[in-house]
Amino acid sequence: MSKEFDVVVIGAGPAGYVAAIRAAQLGMSTACIDKWLNPGDKPSLGGTCLNAGCIPSKALLESSELYEKANKQFDKHGIKLGSVELDLAQMQKRKTGIVSTLTGGIKALFKANGVTPLMGSGQVVDSGEVLFTGHDGEEETLKAENIIIASGSAPVELGIAPFDGDRIVDSWGALEFDAVPERLGVIGAGIIGVELGSVWSRLGSDVMLLEAVDEFMPATDRQVATEATKAFKKQGLDIKLGARVTGAEAGKNEVKVSYELGGEEHEATFDKLIVAVGRRPYTDGLCAKSAQVSLDDKGYVAVDEQYRTSLPGVYAVGDVIGGAMLAHKGMGEGVAVAEILAGEKPQVNYDTIPSIVYTAPEMAWVGRTEADAKAADIDYRVGQIPFASNGRAKALGDDTGFVKMIARADTDEIIGVHMVGPYVSELVQELVVAMEYKASSEDLARIVHGHPTLSETVHETALAVAQRPIHFPPRRKRGKR
Ligand code: FAD
Ligand code: AMP
C-alpha cells in the first residue's frame, strides 16, 4: 500500500524543512524525507546547516573567540583570570548540545505544523512517485502531487588528497576534532576554510592555509579583503595565496602536503589537513534511472524561475540548484516554492542576499562591489567610515574595520555595502532591508540611529556618500566618469 501526500520534500536542510513547513501552513499534506545520520547512526533533521555547517561552526567560533579573549584581552578590561585552561571536550559538548536542541526544534516544528518526517532516503521514481527507504531498509512507495528536491550539497573531494576521516578531513571532520592539532593545514581559503582555520588557530594550532588563487576571496570587496587579511596575519594565520596543492600523503602520525608556489615545489607537514575547496551539488541516488531530472554542466539540478525541474511536478531548491550556497538563500527558495505550489506568486530577490564570514573581524556584504559597478559601467559614489570613530566599538574594545557604501551617482540608490568589523553579520541586515526597498543613501542618512550603537557607523557611512559625515572628516571619492 502506498501513502499519499500533496507534497513530498526530499531533504530536511534549510531549503527542505522550510519548504515543508510552509507547504503545510498553506494546507498541503506534506512529508519530508531525510537520510542524515549523526555519529552513533542517529537520524537528525536540519541537513548540513544544523548538523555540520552553519550552527556547529558558529558555536565553535564563539567559544574559541571567548577563549582567545580570556587569554589576550580580558586583562585590558581589568579582569584578571589567572591561568586560562581549555576544556575542549566541554566545548564540543556545548556545540553538540546546541545542534541537538535546534535539530529537535525542527522535529517539534514539523509536529506543530503537521509535517510527516520520514527518516531514510528518498528517490524520485517518476512524476508523482517517490520511493522511501527507511534506515531499517524497509521500502515504501509515496504518491505525491508535487515533489520538492532539496538534497543539498557535499564537500568537494580532491583526488590528490582524499578524505580518510582521520588525518585528511572535510569541514564536518574539522568540527569534530577531540584534540587541538599542533600543526593544521587547510586547503582552500574560502569562507569555510578561514572560519575553521580561525577556530583552531585560536585554540592553539599553528595554521597554514593554502589557496590556489592569487587573491584572497576574489569576489569580496578588495578593501574588505585587505583589512581582513591584515587582521588574520596578526592573529597568526599563515595564508599562502597562489599555492596550489599538488599532493597529500597521510601517514600514521602526520600528513605531508606538497604545493606549488611561485613556480617552485614546496612541502609542509601537518598533524591534520582540512580540505575546504568548495561544495558540490548532492544528487547521488536521488533519481531512479527512468526518472532522471536534467542537470546543468556543473551537476546542479536545472530549474526554471519557478523552481521546476525537467520532470513535471518535480521542483528543486537550495544548494542543489546552485547560486549562492547559503542556508538563507535556500530558506527563501523553500518558502517561495511552497507558495508557488499554492498558486501564489512569490519572488526571491537574489540581488539582496547577504554574504557573511564569521571570523574576527567579521566580513559581511550585500549587492555590488566597486569592481562590479565599474564592469557594469555604473557611475557611483562611495562613502566609507571606520569603526575607529564609533563609541560603541571603542567600548567593545573592537574597533577594527569599516563600512563602505556604494550608491548610484544619478539616483543615489544604494547598490552595495561592504563591511569588515565587529558584528557586521548583524549590521548587514539593515542594508538588506534598505536595498530591498530601493533606499537611497540619503534615506538612511535621514534615519536617526540609536546611540551608542555600531549601527551609527552605517549611518555615518550613508552621510559620507554625500561628503557630510559628522563624526569623521569628509573624504572625496567618486567612481567612474
Ligand atoms: P543541506 O543542508 O545540505 O541539506 C540537504 C539534506 O538532504 C541533508 O540532510 C541530506 O541528508 C538530505 N538528502 C540528500 N539526498 C537525500 C535523499 N536522496 N534522501 C533523503 N535525504 C537526502 N551557510 C550560511 O548561510 N551561513 C553559514 O554560516 C554557513 N556556514 C557553513 C559552515 C560549514 C562548515 C558548511 C559546510 C556550510 C556552511 N553554510 C553556511 C552553507 C549551508 O550549510 C548550506 O548552504 C545549506 O545547508 C544548504 O541547505 P540545503 O537545504 O540546500 O541542503
Ligand atoms: P569556496 O569555494 O569559497 O569554499 O573556496 C574554496 C577555495 O579552495 C577556492 O578559493 C579555491 O581556489 C581553493 N582551491 C581549490 N583547489 C585547490 C588546491 N588544489 N590547492 C589550493 N587551493 C585550492
pLDDT tens profile 324-343: 999 999 999 999 999 999 99
| Helix or strand holding residue 243 (H, E) | none
Å from CA of 51 to ligand 2 middle: 23
The ligand 1 atom at the shortest distance from the C-alpha of residue 47 is 9
Rounded Cα distance between 326 and 305, Å, is 18
First vs last Cα of the chain: how many Å apart? 70
pLDDT tens per residue across span 75-121: 999 999 999 999 999 999 999 999 999 999 999 999 999 999 999 99
The ligand 2 atom at the shortest distance from the C-alpha of residue 243 is 21
pLDDT over 90, % of the chain: 97
- Give mean pLDDT, residues 137-148: 98
pLDDT tens per residue across span 366-420: 999 999 999 999 999 999 999 999 999 999 999 999 999 999 999 999 999 999 9
Nearest to 301 by CA among 351, 313, 287: 287
pLDDT tens per residue across span 96-105: 999 999 999 9
Asked if the peptide bond before residue 155 counts as cis, ω within 30 degrees of 0, the response is no
- Give mean pLDDT, residues 46-54: 98
Q: What is each CA distance from 115 to 8, 77, 321, 328, in whole angstroms?
A: 10, 50, 24, 21
Rounded Cα distance between 432 and 276, Å, is 28
Is the CB of 30 inside a 6 Å radius of any atom of ligand 1? no
Helix axes of 327-341 and 14-25: crossing angle, nearest 10 degrees: 30
Is the CB of 171 inside a 6 Å radius of any atom of ligand 1? yes
Where are the strands (E) in 35-100, listed by range? 37-38, 42-43
The ligand 1 atom at the shortest distance from the C-alpha of residue 34 is 21
Rounded Cα distance between 357 and 364, Å, is 6
3-state secondary structure of 328: helix
CB-based contacts of 333, cutoff 8 Å, min separation 6: 15, 19, 307, 317, 318, 321, 348
Residue 207, pLDDT above cutoff 50: yes
Grid cell at residue 235:
592573529
Closest ligand by atom to 33 CA: 1
Choose the residue to mutate in 36, 44, 54 for probing ligand 1, maximizing ligand atoms within 8 Å of C-beta: 54
Where are the strands (E) in 136-226, listed by range? 139-149, 153-155, 168-169, 183-187, 206-211
Residue 475, pLDDT above cutoff 70: no
Closest ligand by atom to 155 CA: 1
Is the CB of 373 inside a 6 Å radius of any atom of ligand 1? no
What is the sign of the dihedral through the CA atoms of 214, 220, 225 and 228? negative
- Give mean pLDDT, residues 196-225: 97
What integer pLDDT is reported at residue 473 of this predicted model?
87
Quick check: is 451 catalytic?
A: yes
pLDDT interval class at 312 (50, 70, 90): very high
CA angle centred on 457, ends 217 and 57, rounded to 5°: 45
pLDDT interval class at 440 (50, 70, 90): very high
Place of cell 537611497: 440
The ligand 1 atom at the shortest distance from the C-alpha of residue 171 is 34
Choose the residue to mutate in 211, 265, 274 for probing ligand 2, maximizing ligand atoms within 8 Å of C-beta: 211
CB contact at 8 A, 451 and 424 = no
User: Quick one: DSSP state of residue 216?
Assistant: S
Grid cell at residue 138:
524497509
- Which entry of 266, 328, 451, 471 is annotated as an active-site residue? 451
Is the CB of 278 inside a 6 Å radius of any atom of ligand 2? yes
pLDDT interval class at 472 (50, 70, 90): very high
Rounded Cα distance between 322 and 211, Å, is 22
Is the CB of 197 inside a 6 Å radius of any atom of ligand 2? no
Residue 437, pLDDT above cutoff 80: yes
Å from CA of 11 to ligand 1 middle: 9
Å from CA of 349 to ligand 2 middle: 28
Rounded Cα distance between 134 and 141, Å, is 11
Rounded Cα distance between 329 and 323, Å, is 9
Choose the residue to mutate in 44, 45, 48 for probing ligand 1, maximizing ligand atoms within 8 Å of C-beta: 48
Partnered with residue 420 across adjacent β-strands are 363, 402
Å from CA of 274 to ligand 2 middle: 11
CB contact at 8 A, 280 and 154 = yes
Q: What is each CA distance from 107 to 146, 178, 307, in whole angstroms?
A: 22, 28, 26
Is the CB of 463 inside a 6 Å radius of any atom of ligand 2? no
| Helix or strand holding residue 209 (H, E) | strand 206-211
Is the CB of 152 inside a 6 Å radius of any atom of ligand 1? yes
Please provide residue 35's backbone torsions phi and psi, each rounded to the nearest 5 degrees.
-105, 5
Residue 481, pLDDT above cutoff 50: no
Rounded Cα distance between 7 and 167, Å, is 42
Rounded Cα distance between 472 and 481, Å, is 26
Is the CB of 51 inside a 6 Å radius of any atom of ligand 1? no
Is the CB of 185 inside a 6 Å radius of any atom of ligand 2? no
Residue 480, pLDDT above cutoff 70: no
**372 CB-side CA count, 13 A:** 16
Reported pTM: 0.96
For atom 6 of ligand 2, the residue with the nearest CA is: 277
Please provide residue 317's backbone torsions phi and psi, each rounded to the nearest 5 degrees.
-145, 165
Closest ligand by atom to 216 CA: 2
Is the CB of 190 inside a 6 Å radius of any atom of ligand 2? yes
What integer pLDDT is reported at residue 479 of this predicted model?
55
CB contact at 8 A, 40 and 125 = no
Å from CA of 193 to ligand 2 middle: 9
What integer pLDDT is reported at residue 476 of this predicted model?
58
**Strand pairing category for 414-421 and 402-408:** antiparallel
Closest ligand by atom to 175 CA: 1
Nearest to 477 by CA among 404, 398, 386: 404
What integer pLDDT is reported at residue 477 of this predicted model?
54
Å from CA of 271 to ligand 2 middle: 20
Is the CB of 211 inside a 6 Å radius of any atom of ligand 2? yes
pLDDT tens per residue across span 222-278: 999 999 999 999 999 999 999 999 999 999 999 999 999 999 999 999 999 999 999
Helix axes of 88-113 and 54-72: crossing angle, nearest 10 degrees: 150
Nearest to 47 by CA among 292, 271, 327, 296: 327
